Amino acid sequence: MIPAEPDPVCTGVGIEMKSFAIPNVLTIAGSDSGGGAGIQADLKAFSALGVYGASVITAVTAQNTHTVSAIHPIPNDVIAAQIDAVLMDIAIHAIKVGMLGSVDIIETVAQALSRYPTIPLVVDPVMISKSGSALLPMNAVAALKQQILPRAYLITPNLPEAAALVGLDEPTTIDGMYALLPKLHELGAKHVLLKGGHLEGDNDAVDLLSDGKHVQAYRAKRINTQNTHGTGCTLSSN
């Protein structure tokens, strides 16, 4: 990664310049009023990892851990202006893309990012919230596949999202997850992290990370909890 510019550091007796190799990461996503998902979750994850986080808000949502009660899309020109304002000033080392919400927003983000083709893109194809609320209309899925996913370094779909992206039934076994990986790579992403948390009847949770040639399985003991709001956002920001 490219070191960030030296930052001023308060010493208690004055300001001195000290160089830090702190990565700068931009998140492009929706705002969660409950603070558990979206932009808020991304920035918390960045901070926990020692990363400087910048943000572009695509929509303001009224939500909590139970439901999404309102969604207000940000005007397209304001989204584009946010992207340019950040990328023209700050040396961004990676971009995470979350909730986009509509064909127009997808097209706006894709056009703006086309001016910065060398920055790695991590895409969490947010389609449905944990509470079951639709966050991406089905008519926008094709736009996401055509305009965003082909330039992604990594995509992080869960099983329902992966099935929707490739037009197949949701896998019910780990073998089914493996079979889905080639179809996901056909969408153009260099790497795929397929999250298996939706599989039932297994004591472990299994995620598969693929580069198109090799697959690494990550297995962990499943945690019996209802506190899953924002987990996908947080994982894709790590």
Provide the annotated active-site residues.
195, 228, 230-233
Structure tokens at 81: 């202006």
The two structure tokens encoding residue 157: 């779909």
Q: Sign of the CA dihedral 80, 62, 128, 209? A: positive
Among 156, 162, 147, 145, residue whose Cα is nearest residue 122: 156
Own/partner contacts of 187-191, CB < 8 Å, gap of 24 or more, are 187/145, 187/149, 187/150, 187/155, 188/149, 188/150, 188/151, 188/152, 189/123, 189/149, 189/150, 189/152, 189/153, 189/154, 189/155, 190/152, 190/153, 190/154, 191/153, 191/154, 191/155
d(CA 52, CA 147): 27
Query: What sign has the CA pseudo-torsion 141, 222, 212, 119?
Result: positive
What's the rounded Cα separation, in Å, for the pair 138 and 10? 50
Question: How many whole angstroms from its chain centre is CA 67?
Answer: 20
